Amino acid sequence: MRSLIVAFLMLIATAAFAQNNTGTITGSVLETGGGPVGGVAIEAKNVETGAIFKANSAQSGSYTLSQLPAGRYELTATSFGFKRFERKDVVVQAGQTQRIDLPIGDFVTLQTLGEDRVSIGRVFSSRPKPPEGPAPRTPEGKPDLSGVWNGPGPGGGGDNGPDLLPWAQALQKEHMDNNEKDSPQAHCLPFNVTSFNFFLNRLVQTRDVLIAIIEYDLPGYRQIYLDGRGHPKNLEPSWTGHSVGTWDGDTLVIDTVGFNDKTWFGDSAPHTDKLHITTRLRRSDLGHLEIENTFDDPGALKKPWKTKSVATLAPSTEEVAEFICNENNQDAEHLVGK
Amino acid sequence: MNIAISALIVFFAHHSFTAEYDSSKLMQFTGTVTRVEWTNPHARFYLDVKDAQGNVTSWNFELGSPIVLRKLGWNRDSLKIGEQVGVEGFLAKDGAKMANARKVTLADGRNVFAGSSADGSPTK
């Protein structure tokens, strides 16, 4: 009994000690209009120790990070469809609770059912965990990238977009000022310069060609030649360019050139027909495909722009849906812009 | 500017919301479903809406792509011809009888085409 009391007293002492040396950050996550935003991932990173403390905002928008050891922190809030909130030099003092509201702005107004934040967020959050195991190999001993892949979801990528030359910046601003009314995708033209999109992507790899069948993409397929051919001379510019792949160890390096200048980078940035994309695909294990893209365009970019993401293997029962964009594109004539 | 993420959104969205709809003109509609188009780039449905004088106007409502709606468990029969529904949406900027649909509520209070299970969407 006595030892129990001692243990109890020690527990109280420990709790008191912890309380005395830790502090709390609490507040609300608010959208531009002042409304609460739930489900936002909030992280406080201790600058000195690198320790990370996490919380999610409730439906009411409120969040609390407690038991934070006193010190200096970086506070971030990320959620799909919102700009990342970041605040450095947050000082947590022992025994104190401080209130920090986190304003996070929209990228765009996503409202329409099926295209709203909740819907898209659910599509990503309901994906099953990818299977474990070693990456399969072809009879020739190369990694086999075949499979149905869930494209990379939101998050990651950092804040660095392409660094545009002045003329391209000016044209991007014009596009944005017009609410992207002339964007290729709004008019059912190809809009994705890579061979991957965010929903399902079926890769079929043979010895001589890698075929990508891409959901919610136009034209919905890409051919990447693996038979050792180079790019043709006098290549005619096209919407999706010409792709050849070579192996660098276990990484497939895809070189794509021959684009026209009619697609946009992302939602608004122009490129020229000098666009050259180097894609590195590495199946790190059965369930994961690392995708690294380097976009080089001396006609529009100050320097090459690199992105990294990871696709995950979807259940083999998943089927890539068709996307006949022009069957009912009533929007085109109603896109007034401003 | 995070192009990677903004690209993602536009790819989902087919077109910029603000290029077509007026975010300051949120309207409530009640009417009878006359047609459902399970098509790309947007699924659509049409409502006959009766005003106080008894005049009937056909309104055209935009939803997301069937590709996404299907992933959420919805299908072309989620809304039936002849059904009475309430719709909340933003009007088209050009004055057409069109709106986006941000909330569709059936007579029994269930919300259809929503992405949140709290709104009564089916579990896949």
Tens of pLDDT, residue by residue over A36-48, are 788 788 999 999 9
Question: How many domains does chain B fold into?
Answer: 1
Domain-located, residue B120:
no
Q: Is A186 on the interface with B (CB under 8 A)?
A: yes
pLDDT at A7 over 70: no
Report the CATH number at residue B75. Answer: 2.40.50.140
Among all residues of chain B, which has the CA nearest to that of A338? B19
CB atoms B11 and A216 under 8 Å: yes
| Chain segment A126-180, per-residue pLDDT in tens | 889 999 999 999 999 999 999 999 998 654 444 456 889 999 999 998 988 888 8
User: Which of the pair, A213 or B16, is modelled with greater confidence?
Assistant: A213
Q: Is residue B2 part of a domain?
A: no
pTM (two decimals): 0.79
Beta bridge partners of A68: A23
In a domain, B29, yes or no: yes
Sign of CA dihedral A31, A36, A38, A43: positive
Q: Is residue B48 part of a domain?
A: yes
Cα–Cα distance, A231 to A224 (Å, whole number):
11
Buried-state track A145-171, b at ≥16 Cβ within 10 A, e below 16? bbbbbbbbbbeebeeebbebbeebeeb
Beta bridge partners of B61: B45, B99
Residue B44, chain A, CB below 8 Å: the answer is: yes
Which of B2, B12, B92 is the closest to A115 by Cβ? B12
Distance from CA of A175 to the nearest CA of B (A): 11
Determine, yes or no, domain membership for B22. yes
> DSSP assignment of A134-179, as one string?
PPPB-TTSSB---EEEEPP-SS-STT----B-HHHHHHHHHHHHTT
Tell me whether residue B122 is in a domain: no
Q: How far apart are CA A157 and CA A134, in angstroms?
A: 26
Return mean pLDDT, chain B: 85
Determine, yes or no, domain membership for B4.
Answer: no
- For an interface test with B, which of A86, A112, A163, A323 has the most B Cβ atoms less than 10 Å from its Cβ? A112
Kindly state whether residue B6 falls inside one of the protein's structural domains: no
Q: Which domain holds residue B82?
A: 16-113
> Which residues have a Cβ under 8 Å from the Cβ of A52 and sit 6 or more positions away?
A43, A44, A45, A46
ipTM above 0.85, yes or no: yes
> In whole angstroms, what separates CA A327 from the centre of its chain?
29
- Asked if A263 has any chain B CB less than 8 Å from its own CB, the reply is no
Pure H helices in B14-109:
17-20, 66-71
d(CA A152, CA A199): 8
